[in-house]
Amino acid sequence: MNRISPKVSVVIPTRNRAHLLKRALESVFRQSYENMEVVVLDDCSEDDTPQVISSFRERYSNLRAFREASGSITKAIQNVTKKAEGKYIARLDDDDFWSDPEKTVVQAAFLEKHPDYVAVGGGVIRVDSRGQERARYLLPETDRDIRRVMLWYIPMPGVVSMYRRSALEEVGGFDVAVIYANDWDIVARLGTVGKLYNFRRYLATYTKEDVRWSPATARRLESAAFLVRRRHRAHYPGFWEGCLFGAVLYLSTFVPFWRVWRPFASRAWNSLRTKFLT
């Protein structure tokens, strides 16, 4: 990509994760893409987040930062996205980071070459809170295969996604009513106005423990997944199969010693997903 490449806006909402925000920003500024702006929205953090942002602003003139209360993660994402000026929007949460310094280059080049595509993603690596790798996933590549699994699980996580800004505006941006699974909902809505593609290379890393949530939180997440499936059932195949899968996950949270066996079940599912649904 050369200097006349279209502007890419990297949008990062953050709150009280100063130590992780630094890692996220460092991964962004290691990108080889030149025409890039970084827009950070600090949701009124009470830790050292303002100092971290200031230290990066001193070094990088293409970083813009705002401090305002949002009330929810999806509202923060929507607010920071509205402040972006680029032709393409790349999402990044404050506890995640980009693994491949060519991520922005390859994704922007693809969208420039294929105007009928509205979003691109790629493979992801999962690490725990200590930074130890726990798993890595290559997601369905083609538009056809992405649509085939859309109602099973999110085929294009926010951490690895780049969106065409005009398409985001066409579908109304992020729905602030969707607190959980907002990245799943937006890619499903984008898929109604254009094509989707995942690169077969590992572009981003996200942080998640084997057992991160309580059973109650896991149930809220599965309930949110059902709402996404129901909302988009008219646009994608496999609604009942996806609901059955979600129901099994939901009911599993009531099984005794959920925290003990859930990590093993999760790894088994990921193995099956990699073999049959990618």
Q: Could you tell me the pTM of the whole model?
A: 0.89
Residue 277 predicted with pLDDT over 60: no
Q: Residue 90: name the closest of 154, 36, 9, 28 by CA.
A: 9
Q: Residue 244: name the closest of 226, 259, 268 by CA.
A: 226
Lookup: tokens for 165? 């800004």
pLDDT at 252: 75
Number of continuous H segments (helices) and E segments (strands) in the chain: 10, 9
Mean of all residue pLDDT scores within the chain: 90
- Binned at pLDDT 50, 70 and 90, residue 248 comes out as confident
Q: Are 230 and 174 in contact (CB under 8 A)?
A: no
Secondary structure class of 197 (helix, strand, coil):
strand
Residue 245 predicted with pLDDT over 90: no
Residue 84: CB atoms within 10 Å: 21
Ordered domains of the chain (ranges, CATH) = 8-207 (3.90.550.10)
pLDDT in tens, 12-22: 999 999 999 99
pLDDT in tens, 80-90: 999 999 999 99
- What average pLDDT score do residues 166-191 get? 95
Q: Are 185 and 224 in contact (CB under 8 A)?
A: no
Secondary structure class of 192 (helix, strand, coil):
coil
pLDDT at 268: 60
Residue 260: CB atoms within 10 Å: 10
DSSP 139: P
Measure Cα distances from 107 to 113, 118, 138, 248, 258 in Å.
Answer: 10, 11, 16, 35, 39
CA–CA gap between residue 250 and residue 215 (Å, rounded): 9
pLDDT at 142: 98
- What average pLDDT score do residues 117-128 get? 96
Q: Is 133 exposed, middle or buried (0-12, 13-18, 19+ CB in 10 A)?
A: exposed
Residue 69: CB atoms within 10 Å: 11
Q: Are 64 and 56 in contact (CB under 8 A)?
A: no
**Is the alpha carbon torsion for 38, 92, 185, 187 positive or negative?**
positive
Q: How many CA atoms lie within 13 A of 197 on its CB side?
A: 19
pLDDT at 226: 92
CA–CA gap between residue 82 and residue 246 (Å, rounded): 33
Give kind and range of the element (H or E) at residue 186: helix 182-190
Q: Are strands 8-14 and 88-91 parallel, antiparallel or unpaired?
A: parallel
